[in-house]
């Protein structure tokens, strides 16, 4: 079921400072910042060849990464996203196995325009996992 690693998402308190670290110190290629108000984040994508890193900064009055940054003020790895061939089949299989899906269990359209779901970290070794339709 589990497909490729689509991205690793890193929540940061200051997107400009984090972008400078990846661009200037680490010599990576970055996209321009892109505001995603419907997701409550501004994002910069880093193409590392075989997958992507996403730097996320809170956007708007309430962001889904506010609580994480309150606990981790310097930032940190927020979630990992795997591709799955059929997100509804994946969801149903996970529910059958007793795993919890976050929210109402209906896929939402993610940052790449494809359906996504998030899984409960307590059911996955403390890791927040996003599934994205291939």
**Residues composing the chain:** 134
List the x/- string, 1-40, binding to a copy of itself by CB under 8 A: xxxxx--x-x-x----xx--xx-xxxxx------------
Burial of 64 (0-12, 13-18, 19+ CB in 10 A): middle
In the set 41, 43, 44, 55, which binds a copy of itself (CB under 8 A)?
Answer: 55
**Could you give the CA distance from residue 69 to residue 53 in angstroms, rounded to a whole number?**
18
Q: Is 130 a residue of the active site?
A: yes
Q: What residues contact 39, with CB distance under 8 A and at least 6 apart?
A: 59, 64, 110, 111
Residue 48 engages a copy of itself in binding (rule: CB under 8 A): yes
How far is 111 from 105, CA to CA, in rounded Å?
18
- Catalytic annotation, pick one of 54, 130, 132, 134: 130
| Residues identified as active-site | 130
> Which residues contact a copy of itself (rule: CB under 8 A)?
1-5, 8, 10, 12, 17-18, 21-22, 24-28, 46, 48-51, 53, 55, 72, 74-77, 80, 82, 93-94, 97, 99, 121-127
């Amino acid at each position: 079921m589990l497909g490729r690693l689509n991205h690793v998402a890193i929540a940061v308190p200051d997107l400009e400072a984090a972008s400078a670290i990846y661009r200037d110190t680490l010599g990576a290629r970055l996209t321009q910042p892109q505001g995603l108000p419907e997701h409550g984040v501004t994002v910069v994508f880093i193409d590392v060849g075989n997958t992507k890193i996403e730097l996320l900064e809170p956007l708007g009055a309430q962001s889904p990464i506010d609580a994480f940054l309150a606990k981790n003020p310097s930032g940190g790895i927020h979630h990992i996203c795997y591709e799955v061939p059929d997100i509804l089949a994946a969801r149903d299989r996970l529910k059958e196995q007793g795993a919890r899906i976050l929210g109402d269990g209906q896929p939402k359209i993610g940052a790449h325009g494809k359906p996504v779901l998030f899984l409960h970290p307590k059911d996955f070794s403390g890791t927040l996992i996003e599934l994205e339709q291939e």
